[in-house]
Amino acid sequence: MENAGNLEQKPLFNELQQGRELVKQLQMHLDPSYSEETRNMLVEKILSSFDKAISMVKWVSSDGEARPTGTTPVDSPRSDSGSPHSEDSDRRDIYKKRKTLPRWTEQIRVSSGTGLEGPLDDGYCWRKYGQKDILGAKYPRGYYRCTHRNVQGCLATKQVQRSDEDPSIFDVTYRGKHTCFQGSHLIPAMGTLESSKQMLKQDQVHHQDHLPEQQNEQQQAQEILFHFKTGLKVRTKDLDTGEQQQQQLMTSSFSFPSTPFECLKTENHIFSPPTVDHYFSGNLSPSFLSPATSESNYFPVSPCRVNSFGGGGYRNLQTSESDLTEIISAATSGTNSPIVDLDFPMDFDPIFPFNSPDFFPSCS
DNA sequence: CGGATTTGACCCCA
DNA sequence: TGGGGTCAAATCCG
């Protein structure tokens, strides 16, 4: 986190700026000719924006440590199938690391109206590697890991489990941060649509990695982004205040376009922050229905594309192990704003040539 | 044909 | 020892 300081300020700055913009918009909309709904939405967005900014401040000030043991994120665990010994210890390390990896859970509600259920797309490219029946749970739990695991050594994983009581709710537990550069990270939100498609078929995912702190931050940021874009509504339990408000927000009117940005899939996602910003600021179109298909098994899967959820809202996030997580969540819950920039700062070098074609690998 | 998913077996930890 | 998590061969799909 060397230059984290500055980097982190950017998102904060963006957040504040956004808040200001929203206030301006609200001001314009004070005109009675605008619907009350619109005004409420703006108010919520503004609140959310400030909440996020606050979260960021907290985050920055407490930046600390959530760093998992290993600071070497990337390296595919098994890549070196060399010595048997190492393989063995590798595996053990993995377990150990796993424990220390930041982990957080999000509850995502999928709209069931359309028959689609898939919601959970966080913009990352996930590959399902397992499914298991969990004791006491009606539905099996799906295990997903980052598609780029082998290529980039991204250890992020996620578990998706459908709620017993409310099948429309999926508990998604993320573990580890993404160390890979997928477009999704950045533009994750969009990934939602397609993801849903897949998700429909599958369960849930989990993702995470043990990344260094930077990565953590990144991830968080990314997550936030996702949610935003995706229109997901996620919340962290830990978040204390503001959440409800935020939630309302989310639930209320906003949804992100599930456009194909993301779909840009990994290949191009170059997420340009600005773009994202624009998105948020201006267009969040309410397209809730996801085009995705409807075949579903248990869970929706989200590959790398976008899904849009139908209207649901996320419910709680539980979690967490670290403050970061909380922060993240908080931010996440904030929702509608463009926090996009957060990611950048943390992950990438500002000067990084995102446009470079080879920068992003492809998702599938 | 390559990549993703399925699914039973295996491993580790509580 | 059992449950949860992961592996990996088989299978599916585009």
Q: DSSP letters of A264-293?
A: BHHHH----HHHHHHHHHH------S----
With CA atoms as reference, report the closest residue to A198 among A96, A297, A108.
A297
What is the distance between the alpha carbons of residues A243 and A146, in angstroms, rounded to a whole number? 29
Contact between residue A245 and residue A173 where contact means Cβ atoms under 8 Å apart: no
Higher-confidence residue: A209 or A132?
A132
The H-or-E segment that residue A173 falls in is strand A169-175
Higher-confidence residue: A11 or A302?
A11
Distance separating the N- and C-terminal Cα atoms of chain A: 31
Please report which confidence band the pLDDT of residue A25 belongs to, taking 50, 70 and 90 as the band edges.
confident
Share above pLDDT 70 across residues of chain A, in percent, rounded to a whole number? 22
Q: Identify the residue whose Cα has the smallest distance to the C1' of C4.
A: A134
Higher-confidence residue: A137 or A33?
A137
Residues 191-230 of A with CB under 7 A from strand C: 206
pLDDT at A209: 36
pLDDT tens for each residue of A194-213: 344 444 444 333 333 333 44
Please report which confidence band the pLDDT of residue A299 belongs to, taking 50, 70 and 90 as the band edges.
low
What Cα–Cα distance (Å) separates residue A34 from each residue in A28, A162, A326, A337? 9, 40, 36, 21
The predicted model gives A175-201 an average pLDDT of 49
Q: Identify the residue whose Cα has the smallest distance to the C1' of C14.
A: A364
Burial of A100 (0-12, 13-18, 19+ CB in 10 A): middle
What is the distance between the alpha carbons of residues A85 and A102, in angstroms, rounded to a whole number? 27
| pLDDT above 50 (res A134) | yes
The predicted model gives A236-262 an average pLDDT of 36
Residues 84-113 of A with CB under 7 A from strand C: 94, 98
Give the 3-state secondary structure of residue A152. helix
Write down the pTM of the prediction. 0.48
What is the distance between the alpha carbons of residues A151 and A71, in angstroms, rounded to a whole number? 18
With CA atoms as reference, report the closest residue to A23 among A50, A38, A42.
A42
The CA–C1' separation of A303 and C14, in angstroms, is 15
The predicted model gives A246-258 an average pLDDT of 36
What is the distance between the alpha carbons of residues A316 and A234, in angstroms, rounded to a whole number? 6
